[in-house]
Amino acid sequence: VNKIYREGMLEETTQDIPVSFEDLREEAHDAMSEEGRAYVHGGAGSEETFERNKDFSEWRIVPRMLRGVEERDLSVDFLGQTHSYPLMLTPLGVQSLLHDEAELGTAAGAADLDVPLTLSSLSSRTMEDVSEALGDTPKLFQFYWSSNQAIAKSFLDRAERAGYDAIVVTVDAPILGWRERLIERGYYPFLEGEGVANYFSDPEFRSQLDDPPEDDPEVAVEHFLDIFGDSSLTWEDLQFVHDNTDLPVVIKGVLDPRDARLAIQHGADAIGVSTHGGRQVDGSITAFEALPAVAEEVDGEVPITFDSGVRRASDAYKALALGADSVLLGRPYAYGLAVDGANGVRTVLKNFIAEFDLTMGLAGNRNVEDIGRDSVTHETELY
């Protein structure tokens, strides 16, 4: 930070990407196409949950002083690996709508800072190419469960072969939410040929078509729409995932402690508390509101990831204090990508990590494990 201020005074600022989330969103808005805006901004219905997701203000950080915070360690253990920070990237589909570099730009930015990335099933670059771009940076593959078992199995096989470290099963999107921004345009992002690269490149998917997707994209997209999701799934079906991968399984989209318990009973290796960025059930509880009860039920049996609404380091700090083990960033990096590809993602992450490091130090913590329930207070408990 000192370096940034010094450079600023000398008018050599390296801050070519807006620092504040609000300014970044505005610049990304201008950089994106109409379709990109409709896809990324906002959420389901009235966007009540999307808006409330961003409100972390009921809980307040209680900073402690004079605790010798010169040396700070931001690393955490997650599913047998050491992550450099308690921070990962959420899966965001169809990033070709945001920038030409798409998921490869995101991967390059994430790899520069060693921030683990979760790749969406709906990525516009193949999972193999993204894995290569990430190199040694930890990587997770988000699994949308095709109703076609052979394709579902093929995705799990490919993710394991391509070197992903975990499978993230998204359970909150068996059907798409009521997203008015998209509906108004009659626009379905996944109809972009590029938006379904993982499917179009999948040997099993291809074998089910008469002509390759490149020759007849319309028929291929039709087939994709037929096999994309499966709303008949129940907790018992998770066995299929365990039967078809040796990788740890994260269940993303849990908002109720009873579902956290069911997830653990059905073999979850980690629980993801998330509202899908307010894109699924308008009017639902927010991820932050759900977190304390889920954390109480899980009680350290498995790690908890948290996303939905994180915009600044204090949001992440509060989620860690209330039981999350790692926090995922979504729209902030999407906007970074839209503004300047890999450089935008890198800058957003660099700033977020720097802000987190400062917040942690100023709150009196030398490492992430020190951040706990007594690091925050609820507004009803203020002294």
How many whole angstroms separate alpha carbon 326 and alpha carbon 120?
Answer: 18
Site string for ligand FNR, 306-345 (x = CB under 6 A): -xxxx-------------------xx--x-----------
Among residues 223, 242, 276, 378, which one is catalytic?
A: 276
106 binds ligand FNR (CB under 6 A): no
**Contact region with ligand FNR (CB under 6 A), list: 16-24, 176-184, 276-284, 292-300:** 276-284
Angle in degrees, CA 302, 307, 308, rounded to 5: 150
Pick from 17, 28, 90, 104: which binds ligand FNR (CB under 6 A)?
90
Pick from 17, 38, 92, 304: which binds ligand FNR (CB under 6 A)?
92
One-letter amino acid for residue 79 of the chain:
L
Instruction: For the CB of residue 73, give the shortest distance to ligand FNR in the complex, in Å.
Output: 26
Angle in degrees, CA 189, 191, 196, rounded to 5: 90
Q: Which residues contact 20 (CB under 8 A, 6 or more apart)?
A: none
Give me the residues paired with residue 326 across strands: 305
52 binds ligand FNR (CB under 6 A): no
Q: Output DSSP code: residue 190.
A: G
364 binds ligand FNR (CB under 6 A): no
Residue with smaller CB distance to ligand FNR, 55 or 211: 55
Task: Give the burial class of 4: count Cβ atoms within 10 A of its Cβ; 0-12 exposed, 13-18 middle, 19 or more buried.
Answer: middle
Instruction: For the CB of residue 42, give the shortest distance to ligand FNR in the complex, in Å.
Output: 9
Q: Is 276 designated active site?
A: yes
Pick from 120, 124, 284, 343: which binds ligand FNR (CB under 6 A)?
120
**Contact region with ligand FNR (CB under 6 A), list: 215-223, 273-281, 292-300, 373-381:** 273-281
Q: Which residues contact 228 (CB under 8 A, 6 or more apart)?
A: 144, 146, 147, 190
Which two three-digit tokens encode residue 27? 């610049």
Which of helix, strand or coil describes residue 118? strand
146 binds ligand FNR (CB under 6 A): no
Which two three-digit tokens encode residue 379? 């507004």
**Contact region with ligand FNR (CB under 6 A), list: 89-97, 193-201, 210-218, 337-345:** 89-97
Task: State the chain's maximal CA–CA distance in angstroms.
Answer: 70
Which two three-digit tokens encode residue 259? 């579902």
Instruction: For the CB of residue 238, give the shortest distance to ligand FNR in the complex, in Å.
Output: 16
155 binds ligand FNR (CB under 6 A): no
274 binds ligand FNR (CB under 6 A): yes
CB 328 within 8 A of CB 305: yes
How many whole angstroms separate alpha carbon 383 and alpha carbon 381?
Answer: 6
116 binds ligand FNR (CB under 6 A): no
- Residue positions annotated with a catalytic role: 276
Q: Rule CB under 6 A: which residues touch ligand FNR? A: 39-40, 53, 90-93, 120, 122, 142, 170, 252, 274, 276-277, 279, 307-310, 330-331, 334
